Structure 1
């Protein structure tokens, strides 16, 4: 794993696990000192996090952890609830045993992350399950849209979510795979809709108390 990837994973984990709260500034100099790397290296990681909407970078102001509004958070989930069940018929048309095994392997990784209490990894994996599933439908435009929605909903979970937002309380993805294996399209659509509605319901759209972050202590 490259040094950039290690820093990215540590920062993502800190954001997702609320060690760095929404709205917190991310000074390049302090992060550079904490990780013992150049500001150029930190800038690359911040740009990647910004692409995934976990971070906002503003000219002359620097980077800070993104703080989605309650309205934005609600609209992101409503968009997923509306769109993802509609993709199920096209996904079903392309579904096969190889894909079934591939996605079951992904579910096992999700379960392992949850069992280990790794919320950051669990959020990444559950998002990946959804946008990789969307790609099975062979509509790349819609798949890319779902991927962006997944990144944005991951941020919402990072900002406002709980353990219930990423664990099996919101539905085991293997149940969806079972339905796709049996070509039960309507049932799979209903499962997806209910699953996403439960995820939305697990979000507590309240502001968290501001904290001061000591990056040197956090990342050493």
Structure 2
């Protein structure tokens, strides 16, 4: 995970404390913080249920609480974070039941769209999908689990877009966001529950216009991903934000 010591964050990062917060705010800075928190959740450094206090995050990242609140709201929209009145933000804790529901919904929606994708797909779409699949394999090969999960989600989201059904494509994006957290928390460290060539094989069916075969392959693919999950509930204590985000001592 990026530790925010790169050139993007260092030049404008003010010292902590006092009125330093708002001086570190800005679109690029917020994006870097968003990525850092998202990666920490997906890489299981921030455990499900862990409280994400606005004041503590603002102090760690030297930005305003308003900025942190916006970032947490964005993470909540992606269902990586849960916002609760009077309690604040915490890392979303997916349950076994939720995991089953999410993958059941993906079976219904994604598999059903494969014939449409097979009819509409273009050579350019095929090239783009193969490039996405290759990037995912490379990330897995480098043990970059967070990046691999995000790339896998992006691949499935792109398939939804290629179906031509904007409403269902939006639903798939939501499901993939929820699946990303489920995979991060309960998935295997070395793979995402499927063979590294699965996405390439699926693209092959779509490229040949074999919608029925693509649908069957997607059904098997999603079943294998779900079967790979090991749902074990963990209790999260108060996270050491300074240590997680590599921003020095207290």
TM (normalized to structure 2)?
A: 0.83
Q: Which moved more, 1:75-84 or 1:154-163?
A: 154-163
Q: Is the 8 A contact 1:165 1:199 kept in 2?
A: no
3-state DSSP of counterpart to 1:40: helix
Q: Residues 96-137 of structure 1: CA distance to partner in whole angstroms, max 9, x if unpaired?
A: 101001111111221222122211111111011101111111
Q: Residues 36-74 of structure 1: CA distance to partner in whole angstroms, max 9, x if unpaired?
A: 111112111111110000001112211000112211111
Q: Is the 8 A contact 1:165 1:203 kept in 2?
A: no
Q: Residues 195-219 of structure 1: CA distance to partner in whole angstroms, max 9, x if unpaired?
A: 1001101111111243431101211
The partner residue of 1:60 within 83, 86, 102 is 86
CA distance in 1, matches of 2:241, 2:124: 44
CA distance in 2, matches of 1:161, 1:153: 10
Deviation at 1:151, TM superposition (A): 0.9
Q: Is the 8 A contact 1:170 1:198 kept in 2?
A: no
Q: Residues 167-193 of structure 1: CA distance to partner in whole angstroms, max 9, x if unpaired?
A: 653752111111111112222111111
CA distance in 1, matches of 2:185, 2:55: 24
CA distance in 2, matches of 1:38, 1:116: 35
CA distance in 1, matches of 2:87, 2:238: 18
Counterparts of 1:128-143 in structure 2, within 5 Å, are 128-143=154-169
| 1:210 maps onto 2:239 in alignment | no
The partner residue of 2:115 within 82, 89, 96 is 89
3-state DSSP of counterpart to 2:82: strand
TM (normalized to structure 1)?
A: 0.94
Q: Which has the higher helix share?
A: 1
Deviation at 1:150, TM superposition (A): 0.8
The partner residue of 2:131 within 91, 100, 105 is 105
CA distance in 2, matches of 1:203, 1:20: 19
CA distance in 1, matches of 2:104, 2:189: 21
The partner residue of 1:70 within 63, 81, 96 is 96
User: What is residue 177 of structure 1 aligned with on the other side?
Assistant: 203
Runs of 5+ consecutive residues of structure 2 not aligned to the other structure: 1-7, 9-27
RMSD: 1.6
The partner residue of 1:160 within 161, 177, 186 is 186
- In our comparison, the structure showing a higher alpha carbon Rg is 2
Q: Is the 8 A contact 1:46 1:55 kept in 2?
A: yes
User: What is residue 105 of structure 2 aligned with on the other side?
Assistant: 79
| 1:30 maps onto 2:60 in alignment | no
Q: Is the 8 A contact 1:164 1:202 kept in 2?
A: no
CA distance in 2, matches of 1:105, 1:167: 20
| 1:49 maps onto 2:78 in alignment | no
